[in-house]
Each structure stands twice: as C-alpha cells, then as structure tokens.
Structure 1
Amino acid sequence: MLSKIIIELIVLQILGISLGEVRKSFVPFLSLDKTKFLLYMKTEEAIIVRSNYKSPGSDRSYLSVFLKDLEVAQVVNVTKMSSEVTNFKINLLTKRAGETSLTIQLWDFVGGQDKLIEEIKNIQIKVIFKKTETLSQASLHFDSFALMLILPMIFLNKCAFGCKIEVETLQIVWKKPLPVLLGAAIQFFVMPFCGFIFTRVLVLSQTLSFGFIMTCTCPGGGGGYLFALLLEGDVTLAIVMTCASTLLALIMMPLNSYIYSRILGLNGSLHIPISKIITTLLFIVIPISIGVIIKRKVPKWANYLEKIIKPFSFVLMSTGIYLSFRMGLIFTKTMNLEVLFMGLLVPALGLLFGYSFSKMFMLPLPVCKTVAIEGGALNSFLALAIIQLSFPQHKADLATVAPFTVAMCSGCEMLFMILLYKTKKIIFLYVEDAKLKSLV
C-alpha cells in the first residue's frame, strides 16, 4: 500500500504537479449562498459570489458569466469587490417569468495567457411574476383629483400648525425646554434602540428590522395635536413638540439610518439618499415656517388658518388610518405574530416612556399626556418614504410592512385610549351628578 502511494507521488512529480496543487484541485475557490435563486420579474437583482483564490502574482482574476436563456434574464454587469476576501457581484436584469441556468467561470491571467481556474454550472434561476401589489400600487389608488385635493390639505394644515405657535409660547419653551428635550430623547435615542433590541430578540429579517427601527425614529405625527386635544393635554405644547422633532429629524433620521443599517449589516444592499430624506422633511418644515411668518405679519389670515386645523387634522388622520388598514389587509399574508407584536409594542413603548419620564421629572399632568402622545403617535409615513427611497423595490415592499403595521396599531391604541378616557369621564360626571342630587 505504501509503495503504491510512493509510486503515485513519483508520477505526479514527473508530470510537474505538486502535492499542494493536488490538494487545491479538490477545494473549490468559488462559493455561493445557494445554487437556486428565486427572482421577481422586471427587477434588477444581485448575486454575490465569494472567491478565496489567490493569484500567484498581481491579482488579475476575473469572472465570466453566461445565461442559458437571455429571454428570461440578462447580465447587466459583474463587479469585482476586493477587500480581505474577493467578492464578485453579478447584477441580473429579469425580463419575463421562466427558468434558466447560470454558469460562472473564474479566470486568471497567468504566463501571458488566460487560464480557467474554476467553473460552476447549472445555477438555477427562476423568475416569477410578482402577484402582490407594490406599495405605490396598493397604498395610493387615488385618482388625480383626490391626490390634488390631499396634498394642498397637508400643506395648509402644516401652515395652520405654524399659525398656532405663539412667540410667547416659544419663549416659555426656550426657558423650560424639558418636555421638548424629553420628547426628542425618546423619539431619536430610546425608541430606535428599543426597536433594534426587540427586532433582534424576535429574530426578524434585516430588512424588516430596519423598517421597524426607522419607524421608531420618526418624529411626532400631525395627529398628536388632535389626540392632545381629545385627551386634554397641552395642545400648544403638542404643536411645538411636533415642529421641534420634525426639525431635529432633518439630522437624526439620516444619522440613525446610517448607524443602524451598518449595525444590521445592510450597507451593501442599502442606499441612504440623505438629500431626498431631507427634501421629504422640508416639505413639512417649510409650511410650518410659513405659518409662523403669517402669524407675525398677517394675523387676520392666521385666524382663518387656525380654524381649519381641527377638521383638516381629523380628515388627514382618518385617511392615514384608512390607508394603514388597507395596506394591513394586503400585508396580512406576509404578517406573522412577531410583526404584529412589534406593531403593538412600538406605540405602547412610546406612550409608556413619555408618560413615565415626565412623571419622574414631576411635570404637570397635561404636559405628561402630551409628551406621552408625542412619543407614541409617530409619523410612520416618513419611515415609509425613507424605506422606499433607500431599498430596491422588492426589499422596500418587505420593509414597508413595519410602518404600516405600526400606523395601524397606533391608530387603534390611540382611539381605544380616547374611548376609555371619555367613558371614564362620563361615568365620573354621572357619579358626581348623582351625589349632588342625593344631597338635594
């Protein structure tokens, strides 16, 4: 037996093949996460191929890619990404539903000529038609008239918010900024961190986790004013806090997007369009600023605008709840108990942190209610905009489950709180009235 091995080694040496090369020939240089890929039609998809091949001289290795059926998909480009490990990124553009196979070849330029190092055949590619509606198709099935009606309503409503801000109130907040600082700390530090922790505990996917974290880092929504009014909070403070958190969001939302996308390992598949995020937030900030100017320069116009806040806020909040439920019904097929739990947990945590922190600092009850509302009633649709701008469409559709679930659950929780509060108040008044009548 030993003599047979020695003879084989001698033969290999005669042929000029070293023992190391024999060992290498059985160890593949290329690796993929899987050999079967399911892709959606009419999208650009990326496949990552890892290579542990070390070129003898300068690294001139490259990857050749061949598709069997070019009617199903085509190769857009192949990008070499070198760091500690060489990765190749294959971008495929899918055309129609069907199946094809992919062949990849690793080449190197050795001794003045191209040498085939390794080949992987029959990587299965299946392209399917996407039956579920995308966000743009499902959430906004409005005709042009309805859309033209809603956008001016949003603009006027934000202007009216600005008109409600008194200079004296700003001076008071400037001197006693604790409620605003508490709200900002909860919205931009505590809530995103809690969102990250709970998504990791529930083992949600990276994309869905990012969706929930971005929802947690949103500023207060316009409905906060209406909730503060119905729950007898500090209405003026609610408006000031919403405006302040929206201004801070210009910095904090892009920053949190960057930080948590890196922590989640999404930096390769996520593009954060900071300029577009800021533009989206400016759409909210600019009308509010215009309202403040109108209040100072043309008080008569400000009086008219202030009268529309309540009905406009009610209409826009109702529209938001309607859209949330509509999208919630579409997403029920992809929603599971973990996602629903997160949707219920996020607004509940915001309310709890806001009220608890305010009580710790012994703030008045109306202020405690307002800080709690600002922490729990988040502007989830801002997270929706960021997700749509940051991800490819197929991943954006998965991540948007988060803001819509939170918006739907938040609306239900706030409406339940209002119902409970009003019922309690009616019962209290009834008991007091009965006591007075018994005394008479």
Structure 2
Amino acid sequence: MGTLFTLCCAVLLTHGTPWSQTNLNVGRHNLKADDSFITIGDGSLLEFEFPENSKGVIVVSTWYSNSSTKGQKQTLRVQSLDPEVLSILNVSFSRVSVDAQSYIISIRSGFPGRVQLHIQLLRQERDSAPVLIAERTDYFIIVVPWSDDPASRLIRSGGLSHFSEHPVLFALLPVIFVNKCAFGCKVEGEVLRKLLRRPVPLLLGAVGQFLVMPLYGYCVSQLAHLPKALALGLVITCSAPGGGGGYLYSLLLGGDVTLAISMTLVSTVVAVGAMPLSSALYGQLLGVHAALHVPFIKILGTLLFIAIPISLGVLVKLRLPGLTRLLLMLIRPLSVLLMVGGIFMAYQMGASILANVWPHIVVVGVTVPVLGLGVGALLAQLAGLDPPQRKTVSIEVGVQNSLLALAVMQLSFRRTEADFASQAPFIVALSSTSEMLFLVLVHLARNHLCPPANQCDA
C-alpha cells in the first residue's frame, strides 16, 4: 500500500510538470538577477490532501538566479510544524535543468489534521553557515481520514487487535471462572476483619496506584518526548487499578491472597472516581483536549466478574469441604495456565503493533511494572507490614488493569489514534505479565533448591 500510494502521489504532484516547465521557461526572462522561488508541483495549489497513516512524496521545484554565486551548492530544508500530523522522512535531490532544480520530499502522514510546511532554499558556502535564499510558509498538507468503505477497512486491517475480541479469551473464560472460585476458597475471614480494623495496606495501594504511578507516567513520557496521544495512553495506564492477575501472582509468590483480592476490589471501586480525575488533570498538562470516556460499565463488569465467583468460592468453602479440597488442588496449575495463556494471547494479538512500536515506548513500558513493584514494596516497608503483605502491596501497585486503559483509549479517540495511544497499555501489560512470570519462575526455582522449611526463603 505504501509503494502504491507513493507512486500515486508522484503522479499527482508531477503531472503538471511539463506545463510548469513551460511556464518556467517563459517566466525566466522576466526574473531579475536575484529572483528566486519555491513551488510544489506546478505551483497552482497551496494545499494538498493525503490519507492518514500513509507514506507519500512531494515534488518541490526551486529557482535561483544569481551570477555571482553560480557553482555554489544549494540545499532544500523542509520542516513539518506538526510532526504528529505529518513527518518529513527525507529530502532528496531529483534533477537539475537550465531553469530549475527539483527535490523529492518523502513524507509520512499521521493523525488527521492540517499542517503547515516551512520550506527553505539555502546556499551552502564553503567554511560558513548556510545562507537563506528563499522560503515559503504558505503550503499546507491536509491529512484526511480513510473512508469507511470495505476496501479501506481491508487496507487498515492488521492494526491493534482488541483483547475482548480474541477467541482465546473466550476459551479461557471457564478456566478463569473456576480459578476465581478457587481463590474464594482461600479467603480468610480473620484477615478481612483485621483489614476493616486497620486498612493501612488498602490505603497504601490506593496511594501508589492513583497518585505515584500516574505522576511517574507523566514524568517519564516527558523525558522520552512521547507524542501527546501516546503520553496520555501511558498516564491512563498508570492510573488504572490493580488487575485481576494481582492475587494470582500473590498466590504464586507467597503473598497474602485475601489482602490481594481485597485490594483489587477496592482499587477497582476507587478507579471510578480516580481515573476521570487523573485523565482530566494530565490531559490538561499534556494539552490533549479530547473528551475522555471512562468505561463505567466495564469497571462494573470487572467488579462483578471478580466478586461473583469469589463469593461463590467462599460459600463452597463453608458448605462443601470436598469440593473445596479439589479447587485448592487446582488453583496453582490453573493460575500458571492462565498466566502462560495470557502471555501467548498478548503476543499473538500484538504482533502487528510490535512490528511498528517505537523503541523508546518499549523501554518506558518495561519500567512501569518495575517501578510499581518498587514503590509498593517501599510503602509497605515504611508501614511495617509483614513479608506476605509487603509482597502483596508491591504486586498490587505494580500490576495494572491494562484492559481498562485500553477501553478508555478505544472509547475516547478515533480508531487510528486510539490504536496508536493503545501501544502504551499494551506494552505495559505485556511487560508486566512477562516480568511477573520471570519472578514466579525464580521463586519456584529458589523454593525447589532451598525449601522454606529450611528457612532459606528470604
């Protein structure tokens, strides 16, 4: 598609070249010695349209007549005043004639919008800075959305796939439900009563998830010079509540499962108010004025999908001891299966986005779970919590529900821009799952080589 579009652009913008060249030949005799000009195509248009997310070319013709500077090198400099709408890939010299020089400008369009070009013709003198000959700022490129016809949809296919549409997720739903019932069998009533009397871990989780992490997302996006939409996607991801995998990791890493479930439920409720506030605040700081939509229905669905099977598991623990023993036997293998299945699904769906993702967003995404784990561990250490609770608070702060962040992106932006902004939650989710799997494998290997009974487990 990119090659086809480039050829089309070259034809469209150079179809008037013979006519333009004729006019140049006629007009050359009317130019004074120091006259110069810059034109795009045949010079008859000041605005050109390109479809979003495409590559193309612009043909620029220049003329400069000054007998005292003949033989000196001339260069063309082209700048897009809004790189998120249009980026300049390179400027290459095309040909020179008696009357004019031609340059081919390779461009890549981004989000729909109107962008001004700054074109400068420079004379390069030996051992000195370039001298400006002529410049133009009255040319504009209008990036237009793709039409919604079937052919355009086929061209756009291959973008970010959505977690909620993936068939593997539907295949795993029964396993997820049974696994959550098994977690309900792990809930300890005494731990819940202690949390009601002293909810310090719950408060620490809220502070880490909704204050520290969004601030980090904003700061690191500025340091990495991320585009506005991508920076906001990162901030919203860092503002998301704890994910359902938090209590899964707590189980496998020797944390407090009851605390983990409680923190996930509480943070999901708090997210109803915290995510809109965080999105509005950092959206203002980033200069993104899109109307952000927090998926309240999805948040409610997340709450119910956690609360209902876990409550059912609690009832099974009270009434059916035989079934409880079976579920507790299945909880670890099912948890590992879901973790591996989640990584497989994420990598498979993200194949297209991983091929085009910016390298620095990968680096930034990898740091988010690491920082969250560190912040949670530090807060828990300062609060004097016991080791299982420290692990749990650390995990809950470090593992975000990236599905909610993805939903915010898809509801708030156009599809193309939403997929671009969704790189942040996707990379964070993939990094988080991969890093936690690594920690689980290290933990299991350490326990195998140095069992806790020998007090080798730190």
Q: TM-score range by the shorter chain?
A: 0.5 to 0.7
The alignment status of 1:272 with 2:284, answered yes or no, reads no
Superposition map of 1:120-139 within 5 A:
130-131=155-156, 133-136=158-161
Alpha carbons of structure 1 residues 339 and 132: separation in structure 2 relative to 1, 3 Å: farther
Matching residue of 1:38: 50
Equivalences for 1:45-124 in 2 at 5 Å?
none
- Specify whether residues 40 and 370 from structure 1 end up closer, same or farther in structure 2 by C-alpha distance, changes over 3 A only: same
* % identity of equivalent residues: 38
User: Residue 348 of structure 2 corresponds to which residue in structure 1?
Assistant: 326
Q: Which of 203, 218, 225 lines up with 1:181 in the alignment?
A: 203
- Which residue number in structure 1 is paired with residue 304 of structure 2? 286
Q: CA deviation at 1:205?
A: 0.6
Indicate if the aligned counterparts of 1:343 and 1:402 stay in contact, CA closer than 8 A: yes
Shift of 1:427: 3.9
Distance in 1 between residues matched to 2:162 and 2:452, nearest whole Å: 49
Tell me the distance in 1 between the aligned counterparts of 2:448 and 2:182: 31
CA change 1:125–1:199 in 2 (3 A) is: closer
Partner of 2:440: 418
Partner of 2:392: 370
The unaligned stretches of length 5 or more in structure 1 are 1-33, 42-101, 103-119, 434-440
Runs of 4+ in structure 1 deviating by more than 6 angstroms, as ranges, are 295-298, 430-433
Distance 2:172 2:398 in 1: 24
Aligned to 1:399: 421
Distance 2:286 2:333 in 1: 41
Looking at structure 2, the residues matched to 166 and 302 of structure 1 have their Cα atoms a distance apart, in angstroms, of 15
User: 1:224-263 residue pairs with structure 2 within 5 A?
Assistant: 224-263=246-285
1:260 CA displacement: 1.8
Unaligned residue ranges in structure 2 (runs of 5+):
1-45, 54-113, 115-137, 147-151
TM alignment of 1:344-359, pairs within 5 A: 344-359=366-381
Alignment TM-score, normalising by the size of structure 2: 0.61
Whole-angstrom distance in 1 between the partners of 2:219 and 2:199: 29
Equivalent residues of 2:50, 2:141 under 8 A apart: no
SS in 1 for 2:225: coil
Task: Report the Cα distance in structure 2 between the residues aligned to 1:149 and 1:404, rounded to whole angstroms.
Answer: 21
Report if the CA contact (8 A) 1:295-1:302 is conserved. Answer: no
Decide whether aligned partners of structure 1 residues 213 and 162 sit closer, same or farther in structure 2, where only a CA change above 3 A counts. Answer: farther
Q: How large is the RMSD of aligned CA atoms in angstroms?
A: 3.4
The answer to whether the Cα contact below 8 Å between 2:252 and 2:332 also exists between their aligned partners in 1 is no
Deviation per residue, 1:265-298 (Å, 9 max, x gap): 211xx23234xx1110111212444346546767
Matching of residues 288-307 of structure 1 within 5 Å: 288-291=306-309, 294=312, 299-300=318-319, 304=323, 307=328
- Contact in 2 for aligned 1:139/1:326 (Cα 8 Å): no
Find the residue that maps to 1:135 and give its secondary structure: coil
Per the alignment, residue 213 of structure 1 pairs with 235
Contact 1:222/1:313 (CA < 8 Å) preserved in 2? no
Aligned-pair CA distance for 1:192 = 0.5
Q: Please tell me the residue identity of whatever aligns with 1:272.
A: L
Q: Could you tell me how far apart the structure 1 residues matched to 2:433 and 2:447 are?
A: 21
Amino acid at match of 2:408: I
